[in-house]
Structure 1
Amino acid sequence: MKYPFVSVVVGIRNEEKFIEECIESLLNLDYPRDSYEIIIVDGMSTDKTRDIVQKYPVTLLLNEKKNVAAARNLGVENARGELVAFTDGDCKADPQWLKTLVHEMQASPDDVVCFGGPNLIFDTDPVFGRVVGYAQESFLGSGGSAQSKNSTKKHYVSSLPNCNAMYKKAAIKEVGGFDERFVVGQDGDLNYRISKKGNKFLYIPNAKVLHHRRGTFKSFSVRMFKYGVWMAELFKKHGEFVRWYAFLPSIAILFAVILLITSIKFFIPSLLLLALMTVYFILVFITSIQVTYKMKSKYGLFTLFIIPVQHVAYGLGFLYSFTNSPLISKDSSCSDI
């Protein structure tokens, strides 16, 4: 195969715990070393991250805006390659990762402009993080999205997470790059705009990246709330749902509240509410068994709490966005890169 030059961009902030592992995995890719560059974009880290990065033969850029979207724009702006691959500072790339992405790019039609693979779980991560990771691989946890499902079949998808994705740079520049006002969900917004140009995204199961799962119950809840907020902002910006399941948790919350209020006077709403909650928790229980089986650990049963918390926090975040001034207007556009 031919080896076109690829720019690998990693946006980071305070990643002293994992950045060394990430960089070493990128330096040891099975791809000619003179055919790719590694660009680390640091969001003004306050720990030892930059000291660690400077030990390696990589390009270090400083991102004064600190957010991930700005980091990726800066990386693209300084990329020498016409292909730009993204991963995160808490990820570890498989040695065949880049070669697999490039090979699929060369074998695909011109309208396929983004290629990516699974977002796998480290078995050595803390229990809570692993349970969250496996729970989000389920249908209840991800809606079947490529971001989390980790399918074993190659297929076209509507979007790919930027912890594991390679783009034709021209496709990113054509739509004006990442919208830097998005604190989270910036890759979903970019991919939506790219897809509106008639372009496609290819999921490749063999292009593997391991991604550390972290956090606590509290931080997980806050993160899900923020995802809900920014998914609503995506809707307000584009005037339609970027993901079909985005509104379901908030609709379920509103419907449950209405049934609860009306059940004070009427008997049927209380029966309907009970029936729906029973079905929901049966599905959650089945999912928890699946996670327990995957983990081969009783801790998989934590899914019984994690999935409902995810749905409620996400739904409340979505509703919150509609009760406050819009963060992103429908007619707003991104600055060129």
Structure 2
Amino acid sequence: MMHDDDMEWPLVSIVLPAHNEANSINACLDSIMASDYPRDRFETILVDNSSTDGTPDLARQFPVEVYELPNVNVGAVRNYGAGKANGSILAFLDADCVVDPRWLKKGVETLQNLSVDVVGGGIKLGASPSWVESFWLLECRHGSTRPTELIGCNIFIRKSVFESVGGFNEQITSGEDTDISRKLKASGHSVPVITDLAVVHLGNAKSMTSFIRRQQWHAENYISHWKSSIADPVFYLVLWFTLMVASSFFFIALNQTFTGLAAALAALLPAGILSLKRLKRASTQEFNPVKLALIFSLDVLYLAGRSLGLLRGMIREITKRLL
């Protein structure tokens, strides 16, 4: 194991994409500045993407490099920040996250101790989470999430390796973190995710409306990037849900009420599968029927949002081909 006294700390570049983060940017940057990593061995680069709430001006009150890159996808924002970085290690964080004082040291030490080129972490809840946060991020009730792929708000990667795989995909509106995670694995890199690196994510969806909108946004690339979609088991659950809901409306419109209701019930099957999967991952036995109903309800909303995103993506692709 490495110790602070005998380690020459590498220069780390923290890359922060931001879009309308006025409510969280101060907390985020305060937490970074409270880091116990040597102050002359890290830099913070914030790249703002079309904020209208004064986020760049708030960031400039801190010792941070601020750039503005409007009207692009988040992958392009992250890549732009990486291009401005001087560090040999890139630490990707989001501007709505708060880190532990030892986050930077833990990230660098993990890279060194595991002899890897990239490592990721999960997220944990803040002090007063909404019911949507609590029952969606079940693992966070007793710790943090441990994703199977990298998440963009918590990645440490050597800059040379990041560049060797071409950085983040700039063409997709979301999922650029999963995409680079899979590219790294395909290139032969081990991609461990460590629970000790968890950060507090202040930007979780806190209401049902924002939750649905976020899932819709995540699913808009299903059609345009169908090769990735067909490799994702969740895509097939979304597709089943969409087809069954559409069938339900179709049969009810034809006055075949029983068949329509049967299709509606069949649409709920994927939600049950997702709920069981999340409960198993959370490894908990504490949920009563009311809590189980809330968990199931969120999975129904998840599928509804993803279905809307799927349909929106289909309309967008058809429109592009017709014009």
| 1:312 matched to 2:304 | yes
Give the distance between the partners of 1:196 and 1:287, measured in 2 at CA.
Answer: 27
Q: 2:126 — aligned with what?
A: 122
Letter in 1 for 2:298: I
Count of aligned pairs between the two proteins = 306
Partner of 1:230: 221
CA contact (8 A) 2:117 2:158 kept: yes
Q: CA shift at 1:166, angstroms?
A: 0.9
Give 1:135's aligned residue.
135
Aligned pairs for 1:70-89 (under 5 A) are 70-89=76-95
Q: Aligned partners of 1:7, 1:282: CA distance in 2, in Å?
A: 40
Residues 268-320 of structure 1 deviation map (CA, whole Å, 9 limit, x = unaligned) = 997797588589559859979x8999899x88864443221111221342355
Distance in 2, Cα, partners of 1:192 & 1:278: 29
TM-fit CA distance, 1:50: 2.1
Write the distance in 1 (CA, Å) between the matches of 2:223 and 2:275.
25
**1:253 matched to 2:245:** no
Deviations 1:244-267 (A, max 9, x none): 323222124325655887898898
1:186 maps onto 2:176 in alignment: yes
Taking a change above 3 Å as real, the CA distance of residues 173 and 326 of structure 1, as seen in their structure-2 partners, is farther
Q: What residue number does 2:209 align with?
A: 218
User: What are the ranges of 5 or more consecutive residues in structure 1 without an aligned counterpart?
Assistant: 140-147, 152-156, 329-337
Q: In structure 2, do the counterparts of structure 1 residues 327 and 103 end up closer, same or farther at CA, with 3 Å as the change threshold?
A: farther
Select 1:39's aligned residue among 10, 31, 45.
45
The one-letter amino acid paired with 2:212 is: S
Is the partner of 2:192 in helix, strand or coil? Answer: strand
Task: Give, in angstroms, the shift of residue 199 of structure 1.
Answer: 1.6
Q: d(CA) in 1 for partners of 2:293 and 2:135? A: 10
The one-letter code sitting in structure 2 at the alignment partner of 1:83 is I
Give the whole-Å Cα distance in 2 for the aligned partners of 1:63 and 1:99.
29
Q: 1:94 to 1:277 in 2, by over 3 A?
A: same
Kindly state the Cα deviation for residue 106 of structure 1 after the two structures are TM-superposed. 0.4
1:333 maps to none
Counterpart contact for 1:21–1:92, Cα < 8 Å = yes
Higher relative contact order (CA 8 A, sep 6+): 1
Q: Match of 1:184, SS? A: coil
Give matches, 1:282-301, under 5 Å: 284=275
- Code of the residue aligned with 1:207 in structure 2: it is L
Distance 1:282 1:84 in 2: 37
1:97 to 103, 107, 112: 103
After superposition, what is the alpha-carbon deviation per residue over 1:37-66, rounded to whole angstroms, capped at 9, x for unaligned? 111112242223222211111111121345
TM-score with structure 2 length normalisation? Answer: 0.78
Q: In structure 2, the residue corresponding to 1:181 is in which secondary structure?
A: coil
Distance 2:45 2:21 in 1: 15
Q: Match of 1:244, as an amino acid?
A: P
Kindly indicate whether the alpha-carbon contact (under 8 Å) linking 1:73 and 1:178 is maintained by their aligned counterparts in 2.
yes
* 1:155-206 deviation line (CA, Å, top 9, x unaligned): xx75210111111112221122222222222222222222221222111111
Aligned partner letter, 2:127: D
Instruction: Report the equivalent of 1:196.
Output: 186
**Match status 1:175 vs 2:181:** no
The alignment-based identity, stated in percent, is 27
Counterpart residue number, 1:30: 36
Distance apart, 1:107 and its partner CA: 1.6
- Flag as ranges the 4+ runs of structure 1 deviating above 3 A: 231-234, 255-288, 290-296, 298-304, 319-324
Question: Alignment partner of 1:207: what SS?
Answer: strand
Partners of 1:12 and 1:88 within 8 A in 2: yes
Alpha-carbon distance in structure 2 between the residues aligned to 1:286 and 1:160: 19
SS at match of 1:222: helix
